[in-house]
Amino acid sequence: MIIHVVRQGDSIYRIAQAYGTSQDKIISDNRLVNPEVLVPGQTIVIMVDSIPHTVTRGQTMFGLARGYRVSLNDLIAANPQISDPSRLSVGQVINIPTQTRKLGTIDVNGYAFPNINRTVLQDTLPYLTYLSIFSYQVRPDGSLIAINDTPLIEAARQAGVAPIMVITNIEEGASFSSDLAHTILTDLQVRENVINNVVNTLESKNYFGLDIDFEYIYPEDREAYNNFLRAVVQRLRPLGYTITTALAPKTSGDQPGLLYEAHDYPVHGALVDHVIIMTYEWGYTYGPAMAVAPANQVRRVISYAVTVIPSKKILMGMPNYGYDWTLPFVRGSAARSISNMEAVELAARVGANIQFDQTSQAPFFNYYANGRRHEVWFDDARSTQARLRIVSEYNLGGVSYWTINRFFPQNWLVLQSMYDINKVL
């Protein structure tokens, strides 16, 4: 795999010629909507095992290996037609290997809403270990609001992907509720009702496991949440179900804030099978323009997490979206959510060049509309690759995508080139 960054004057024809592949394959792999229009700074993923290099005067195998950052042994092995690697001729074509050794096998979770497009779902399932269907909302009496999850469960199991039931403290018709969480966690009868209803749903719907995504819990309910987890684990583990929790991205155990304080990393790490750390939303709807998941900030969170949670239990959050902000930022104003592919299409439409921020390892661009300046941050193959390297760097269990409802082909091309995907079914 090669990540090509488009330059001024590039065309799919020229890119295909340079890497010894076909235009149709590049267009198909990247699912380019308008391949005739490329944006400077846009990434194109080239799925080739090697690229041709024409030898010029003075070049050696050793020098080519260093220049292309491949091992000399791999370069020699890729060119069995060369009888004497110490002697190259001007004009001779050398195959430069691009296939690097994979970094290991990881778990991949994808959150999906029940209304996901079925084609998108089918295209994504081959890359997943788990499909987490979002979500069963818990009512104040411990009952669950039903969702149309049966088609997704069946599709997942047919594809060898483990379906995961998700429960949330999202208030009916509203958002995450601290008061609802307090009721669920502190009223023992409600807690028992929740667990009974979860078990019934797991069994009747043929789920593989449970994901608990309780957010904005009052700090004083921290131990009540821990006790709730203990009760869930005690009930579900003998039945053979996996248990996962979703956690806010913390950089210390005492990090202040309603989102963070009740999420007890060490206790979750000790009790459950997986923790999904939601390493995204630095750039968010009501905040200033910045990368959604800056690699430097993600690394800070993971650096702390692995000190208190077994690294193999951690699934690092991966966003699958970007934002379009209107500038200057005004507190209370809202950015527009945009898919990664839509971001590139927008850049092409407005004539913007895509830039890449080295600190956050993320692409962005600016444009004007109706006299107002806009700034767009999103993900491309480079930012995806940068964060996926953190998984190997910290020996994590894998990644979790929020959400898979929009298909981003470059993400899956990069992921598949870097890791093998674990299957538990």
In the predicted model, is pLDDT for residue 100 greater than 80?
Answer: no
Q: What is the pLDDT of residues 123-172, one digit of tens each?
A: 999 999 999 999 999 999 999 999 999 999 999 999 999 999 999 999 99
Host domain of residue 85: 52-97
CB 152 within 8 A of CB 133: yes
Q: What is the pLDDT of residues 9-65, one digit of tens each?
A: 999 999 999 888 999 999 999 999 999 999 999 999 999 988 889 999 999 999 999
pLDDT digits (tens, 9 = 90+) for 213-251: 999 999 999 999 999 999 999 999 999 999 999 999 999
**Average pLDDT value for the chain:** 96
CATH code for the domain of 172: 3.20.20.80
- Residues in CB range of 2: below 8 A, 6 or more apart: 19, 45, 46, 48, 51, 98
Q: Are 44 and 61 part of one and the same domain?
A: no
pLDDT at 113: 98
**How many distinct structural domains can be found in the chain?**
3
* Any domain includes 40: yes
Residues 43 and 179 in one domain: no
Share of the chain above pLDDT 70, in %: 100
Provide the CA 49 distance to its chain's centre, in angstroms: 25
- 311 DSSP assignment: G
Q: Are both 163 and 66 inside the same structural domain?
A: no
Query: Does residue 117 share a domain with residue 62?
Result: no
pLDDT band at residue 69 using 50, 70 and 90 as cut-offs? confident
**Contact assessment for residue 338 and residue 321, using Cβ atoms and an 8 Å cutoff:** yes
The answer to the question of residue 139 being in a domain is: yes
State the pLDDT at residue 91: 94
Cα separation of 261 and 56, whole Å? Answer: 61
- Residue that is last in its domain, among 66, 97, 128: 97
Kindly state whether residue 201 falls inside one of the protein's structural domains. Answer: yes
Same domain, 43 and 68: no
Same domain for 209 and 151? yes
Identify the H or E element spanning 111.
Answer: strand 105-112
Using CA of residue 94, residue 100, residue 101, residue 105, what is the dihedral sign? negative
**pLDDT score of 255:** 97
The answer to whether residues 56 and 131 belong to one domain is no
How far is it, in rounded angstroms, from Cα 132 to Cα 293?
Answer: 21
| CA gyration radius, the chain | 24
Give the active site residue among 154, 172, 192, 215.
Answer: 215
Determine the pLDDT at residue 101: 80
Per-residue model confidence (pLDDT) at position 217: 98
- Give the C-alpha distances (Å, rounded to integers) separating 46 from 37, 293, 370, 417: 17, 24, 37, 11
pLDDT band at 366 (very low <50, low <70, confident <90, very high): very high
Residues near 185 by Cβ (< 8 Å), separated by ≥ 6?
A: 191, 214, 217, 221, 224, 225, 227, 228
User: Are residues 90 and 139 both part of a single domain?
Assistant: no
400 with 269, same domain? yes
Domain with residue 65: its CATH number is 3.10.350.10
Task: Express as a percent the part of the chain with pLDDT over 90.
Answer: 95
**Annotation marks residue 172 as catalytic:** no
Give the separation between CA 411 and CA 390, rounded to whole angstroms: 15
Is 378 a domain residue? no
Q: What is the pLDDT averaged over residues 320-329?
A: 97
Assign residue 20 a region: left if phi > 0, alpha if psi is -120 to 50, beta otherwise? left
Predicted confidence at residue 22, as pLDDT, reads 95
The helix/strand/coil state of 53 is strand
* Number of CB atoms found within 10 A of residue 371's CB: 5
Q: Are residue 182 and residue 58 in the same domain, yes or no?
A: no
Whether residue 6 is found in the same domain as residue 130: no
- At residue 70, the pLDDT reads 87
65 with 178, same domain: the answer is no
User: In which band, very low, low, confident or very high, does the pLDDT at 68 lie, cut at 50, 70 and 90?
Assistant: confident
Residue 242 lies in a domain: yes
Structural domain contains residue 325:
no
Residue 359 is assigned to a structural domain of this protein: no
| Summary count for the chain: helices (H), strands (E) | 14, 19
Digit-coded pLDDT (tens) for 261-311: 999 999 999 999 999 999 999 999 999 999 999 999 999 999 999 999 999
Note whether residue 70 is domain-resident: yes
